[in-house]
């Protein structure tokens, strides 16, 4: 009965959080049915009104519509990403095209678009404040980009494409998860464990135990499991096996293969772009971004590519020399790179990852992220045991400022088979205040290895800070309209708050307080801290090449005008040959498991955006450094007011100029990565 469905009842837990401990898969189909019906009725009232179109009865009314659907969808898609099961996946396969169809029916409603257009065309006479003016502009843009202005035949085709793409994205992500769940490299004896430090062995033992392999060790395809194995294992044959499995996700030629899904997706995206009057999908996607054109994005990537490639080739030669020093006779392969890079780093900087990791306790790094938020923005975090979560491992905090409630933050930190790989920030509720203050519920999801205590690599700690930067972008949001709240900004601007936040992890005053040995409680020694900072750009050629290669292939795929008979392997190989990809490095995300781009459209033709934002984050942190205080109060206030709290209330370049006084130059990025040639 609907009254027994917790998704449809008022939520009475603290802060009106969803009753995550009482929601079952069977609750979702009827909840979706009611939510879509409610929103469609609300939309029809807006579209069919005989009153003159105004901002309030069209734009604000649409903002108020669909609140139940947003609520149900947020819970559902958080679960399908972070804690899914067969029942949820079956519902997801059914709901993805239905939700796409529902959205198309709204955005292609001719009477509704006429009313939106009527308000938009009179915008300069309405006396709107800047924020509602921006909301009006975003709504008009959304309708136009969805095809609302096309003829009926084109709209019907576009709706069919949108529905099919939703189904393909779901299939892609479920195939990828299935590949990740199915694989484990079982380490049988001490020989298989050769070279692995205690923290890798302990994590592998826990992973094996979770898979019913008592007394053994297992390496999974979670990045926090496989990367340390590739880094430390002395067994080259096992490194190769694990690496090949990692890079073959979605490319197995079996039931979970993603290549046909990608080919169809690229073809449909190209067709949609043509229907909307664009040369290709990349041109369509970037038209509503800071970059504006594929050429602008590609120009940035190529400016970084050449110095990064030169650096990577020098790094490769150093690794090859190390192989020779050991008296071994093989050419460095992709599964060797991390292993020999660790050896070279240890020799050059007297810095051993296994010596750093005991100082990076997960709990202490969470404390560090919270403390930086307190010093920059005045936030405090209080752990709550009375707020329901969707898994026993999920922790919940209330964020406050000067004693006032700001939002709810959830942290889901450990890898498990029910969770897709990677790290991300999402939300169960966004901020708005159209009809009273609504505060956000934000979640960070990671895939760290468990331990007692859980210990992080420095890259893991950086990931934690990165995702918490996204969380702060959502928590600090202070706008009226949900459409432009929090992280609902241009794709190549959304990474600025997250990547900028990473900088504070590296500050001595943060590490000296929170990087403490898990056994002795002693802080990270100065000599290790200095070596860590000195080595910050070590292996940066490799890291930049593997990222930029993925971003360029993404742009190349979506620059196609058509994709008939697209052979993904051949396309990827040819694209990498054109840019001179070193044989010893593999793309950070090979196309068949490129979830950023093919599990949905968020980063499609937009993976470049991490680097676009990095140009800004490198320059933005300089604003603090120039004051001589990385916690300078005046700079932090500008950062809060114009970036973290402002959502999409103004265009991104205007927001950045308001913070910094100017736009940044690429040199800031090259210097940050140690790629600036002198």
What are the catalytic residues?
A: 467
CA angle, 617 as apex, 611 and 619 as ends, to 5°? 110
H helices present in 404-539, as ranges? 458-475, 495-505, 508-514, 526-534
Contact 123, 133 (CB under 8 A): yes
15-19: Cβ within 8 A, 24+ apart: 15/387, 15/398, 15/405, 15/408, 15/439, 15/441, 16/429, 17/387, 17/388, 17/408, 17/428, 17/441, 18/71, 18/74, 18/75, 18/388, 18/428, 18/441, 19/388
Q: What is the SS3 string spanning 21-83?
A: CCCCHHHHHHHHHHHHHHHHHHHHHHHHCCCCCCHHHHHHHHHHCCHHHHHHHHHHHHHHHHC
CA distances (Å), origin 429, targets 51, 474, 512: 32, 10, 35
Question: Using CA atoms, how far apart are residues 8 and 678, in angstroms rounded to an integer?
Answer: 62
Cis amide linkage into residue 36, ω under 30° from 0: no
Question: Using CA atoms, how far apart are residues 377 and 396, in angstroms rounded to an integer?
Answer: 20
Of 508, 638, 600, 519, the residue nearest 167 (C-alpha):
600
Question: 354: how many CB neighbours lie within 10 A of its CB?
Answer: 18
Question: Using CA atoms, how far apart are residues 487 and 474, in angstroms rounded to an integer?
Answer: 6
Residues in the chain: 678
Helix (H) or strand (E) holding 631: none
* Encoded tokens for 415: 């890898």
Question: Using CA atoms, how far apart are residues 190 and 185, in angstroms rounded to an integer?
Answer: 14
Contact 531, 349 (CB under 8 A): yes
- Enumerate residues 6+ apart whose C-beta is below 8 A from 605: 281, 282, 285, 286, 294, 554, 555, 558, 597
Phi, psi angles (nearest 5°) of residue 410 = -115, 140
Go through 2-15 and write b for each residue having 16 or more CB atoms within 10 A of its CB, e for each that does not: eeebbbbeeeeeeb
Question: Using CA atoms, how far apart are residues 102 and 34, in angstroms rounded to an integer?
Answer: 12
Question: Using CA atoms, how far apart are residues 305 and 575, in angstroms rounded to an integer?
Answer: 14
What string of DSSP letters covers 200-240? Answer: HHHHHHHHHHHTT-TT-EEE-SSHHHHHHHHHH---HHHHH
Strand, helix or coil for residue 538: coil
Question: Using CA atoms, how far apart are residues 38 and 554, in angstroms rounded to an integer?
Answer: 38
Strand, helix or coil for residue 470: helix
Contact 677, 666 (CB under 8 A): no
- What is the chain's Cα-based Rg? 25
Q: What is the helix, strand, coil percentage profile of the chain, to 5? A: 60, 10, 35
CA distances (Å), origin 196, targets 228, 306, 675: 8, 35, 32
Question: Using CA atoms, how far apart are residues 14 and 497, in angstroms rounded to an integer?
Answer: 28
């Amino acid at each position: 009965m609907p009254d027994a469905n917790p998704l449809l009842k008022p939520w009475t837990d603290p802060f009106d959080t969803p009753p995550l401990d009482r929601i079952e898969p069977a609750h979702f189909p009827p909840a979706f049915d009611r939510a879509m019906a409610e929103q469609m009725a609300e939309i029809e009232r807006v579209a069919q009104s005989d009153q003159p179109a105004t901002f309030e009865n069209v734009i604000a009314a649409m903002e108020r519509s669909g609140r139940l659907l947003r609520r149900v969808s947020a819970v559902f898609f958080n679960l399908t990403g972070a804690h899914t099961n067969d029942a949820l996946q079956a519902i997801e396969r059914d709901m993805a095209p239905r939700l796409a169809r529902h959205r198309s029916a709204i955005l292609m409603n001719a009477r509704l678009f006429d009313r939106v257009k009527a308000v938009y065309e009179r915008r300069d006479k309405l006396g709107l404040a800047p924020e509602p003016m921006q909301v009006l502009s975003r709504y008009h843009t959304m309708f136009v980009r969805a095809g609302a202005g096309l003829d009926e035949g084109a709209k019907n085709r576009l709706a069919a494409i949108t529905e099919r793409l939703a189904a393909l994205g779901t299939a892609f992500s479920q195939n990828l998860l299935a590949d990740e769940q199915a694989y484990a490299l079982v380490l049988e004896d001490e020989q298989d464990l050769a070279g692995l430090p205690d923290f890798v062995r302990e994590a592998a033992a826990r992973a094996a135990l979770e898979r019913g392999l008592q007394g053994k060790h297992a390496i999974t395809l979670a990045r926090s499991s496989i990367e340390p194995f590739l880094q430390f294992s002395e067994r080259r044959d096992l490194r190769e096996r694990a690496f090949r499995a990692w890079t073959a996700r979605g490319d197995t030629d079996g039931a979970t293969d993603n290549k046909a899904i990608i080919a169809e997706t690229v073809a449909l995206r190209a067709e949609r772009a043509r229907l909307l009057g664009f040369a290709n999908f990349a041109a369509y996607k970037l038209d509503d971004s800071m970059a504006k054109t594929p050429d602008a994005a590609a120009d940035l990537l190529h400016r970084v590519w050449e110095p990064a490639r030169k650096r990577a080739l020098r790094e490769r030669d150093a690794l090859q020399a190390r192989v020779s020093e050991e008296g071994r006779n093989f050419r460095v392969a992709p599964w060797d790179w991390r292993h020999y890079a660790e050896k070279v780093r240890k020799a050059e900087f007297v810095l051993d990852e296994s010596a750093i990791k005991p100082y990076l306790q997960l709990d202490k790094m969470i404390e560090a992220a919270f403390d930086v938020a307190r010093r920059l923005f005045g936030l405090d975090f209080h752990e709550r045991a009375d707020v329901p979560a969707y898994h026993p491992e999920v922790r919940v905090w209330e964020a406050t400022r000067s004693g006032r409630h700001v939002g709810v933050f959830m942290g889901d930190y450990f890898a498990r088979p029910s969770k897709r790989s990677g790290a991300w920030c999402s939300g169960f509720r966004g901020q708005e205040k159209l009809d009273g203050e609504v505060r956000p519920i934000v979640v960070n999801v990671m895939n760290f290895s468990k331990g007692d205590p859980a210990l992080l690599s420095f890259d893991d700690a950086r990931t934690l800070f990165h995702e918490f930067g996204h969380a702060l972008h959502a928590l600090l949001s202070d706008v009226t309209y949900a459409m432009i709240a929090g992280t609902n900004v241009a794709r190549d601007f959304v990474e600025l708050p997250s990547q900028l936040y990473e900088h504070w992890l590296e500050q001595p005053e943060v590490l000296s307080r929170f990087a403490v040995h898990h056994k002795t409680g002693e802080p990270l020694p100065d000599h290790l801290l200095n070596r860590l900072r000195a080595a910050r750009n070590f292996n940066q050629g490799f890291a930049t090449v593997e990222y930029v290669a993925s971003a360029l292939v993404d742009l190349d795929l979506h620059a196609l005008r058509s994709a008939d008979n697209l052979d993904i392997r051949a396309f990827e190989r040819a694209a990498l040959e054109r840019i001179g990809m070193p044989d010893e490095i593999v793309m950070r995300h090979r196309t068949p498991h490129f979830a950023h781009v093919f599990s949905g459209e968020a980063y499609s033709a937009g993976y470049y955006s991490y680097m676009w934002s990095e140009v800004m984050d490198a320059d933005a942190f300089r604003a603090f450094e120039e004051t001589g205080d990385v916690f300078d109060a005046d700079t932090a206030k500008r950062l809060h007011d114009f970036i973290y709290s402002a959502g999409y209330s103004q265009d991104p370049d205007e927001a950045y100029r308001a913070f910094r006084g100017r736009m940044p130059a690429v040199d800031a990025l090259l210097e940050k990565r140690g790629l600036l040639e002198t």
